[in-house]
Amino acid sequence: MPEMTPDALRAFCDRPPQIVAPELIGATLMLAGAGGMIVETEAYASGDPASHSFSGQTSRNAAMFGRPASAYVYLSYGIHWCFNIVCQPGSAVLVRALESLTGFDEMAARRGVSDPRKLCSGPGKLCQALGIDISHNGLDLDGGVLRLMPGEGGFQLLCGRRIGITRAVEREWRFGLAGSPFLSRRFPATARQTPG
DNA sequence: AAAAAGATGGCCT
DNA sequence: GGCCATCTTTTTT
């Protein structure tokens, strides 16, 4: 597949997040020479009680209402940055885990670990590894600083309940690459999704 | 003005 | 599995 143009990337993201999230498994996310393959995502939809956008636009979540294929970054628990890919207005996909591909030494240094399984196996961890912070909030993902490159698809995926939320927990909007050792947590063996 | 919650992660047992 | 650091945003008084 030829690399997507910025317009194609925007169109790819300008759909409901629960559709985009599974298709992002296998995509590549890069920031300044560091990055890897997305192996775990979660969808947060418009009108979703678990989404930051549920009660309307605020200063924190404003980026969720920006351009599709831009970044929504927020601080979690006062400590960790979390990175989302903006989809349709008021919706986004949280990137929860990466399998590192390039820039390993740099990421390991920022994380203070050497075990590749501990490098990007969580939304806060991958932001620390790549150096993502609030300065990246709202940036387009088409290559200026951050680059998102959707993959070929065709992976065997797992899906299940989202992690760490208290509302709308029944929605199975967490997606992961089956068998990957780089997930933030194992999936309970629930639903299985075949290549698309 | 005050309080509680929160899309986490690391360390403890 | 449990505890809790840490602080911004949001909600409630």
Per residue in A37-55, pLDDT tens?
A: 999 999 999 999 999 999 9
In the predicted model, is pLDDT for residue A29 greater than 90? yes
Q: With the C-alpha atoms ordered A182, A32, A112, A76, is the resulting torsion angle positive or negative? A: negative
The 10s digit of each residue's pLDDT in A58-106 is 999 999 999 999 999 999 999 999 999 999 999 999 999 999 999 999 9
Predicted confidence at residue A195, as pLDDT, reads: 47
The 10s digit of each residue's pLDDT in A180-190 is 999 999 998 75
Going by pLDDT thresholds of 50, 70 and 90, the confidence category of residue A130 is very high
Give the C-alpha distances (Å, rounded to integers) separating A14 from A66, A87, A118, A157. 11, 5, 32, 22
Predicted confidence at residue A19, as pLDDT, reads: 98
| A77: nearest nucleotide, CA–C1' criterion | B6
The 10s digit of each residue's pLDDT in A139-155 is 999 988 999 999 998 99
CA A27 to chain centre: 10
Residue nearest to nucleotide C11 (CA to C1'): A55
A81 CA, B12 C1': Å apart: 24
Predicted confidence at residue A1, as pLDDT, reads: 60
A138 CA, B7 C1': Å apart: 18
A142 CA, B12 C1': Å apart: 43
* Mean of pLDDT over chain A: 94
Residue nearest to nucleotide C5 (CA to C1'): A79
The 10s digit of each residue's pLDDT in A161-171 is 999 999 999 99
| A82: nearest nucleotide, CA–C1' criterion | B7
Q: Which nucleotides of B are covered by protein (CB under 7 A)?
A: 5-10
| A51: nearest nucleotide, CA–C1' criterion | B7
In the predicted model, is pLDDT for residue A12 greater than 60? yes
Q: A147: exposed, middle or buried (C-beta count within 10 Å: 0-12, 13-18, 19+)? A: middle
Going by pLDDT thresholds of 50, 70 and 90, the confidence category of residue A31 is very high
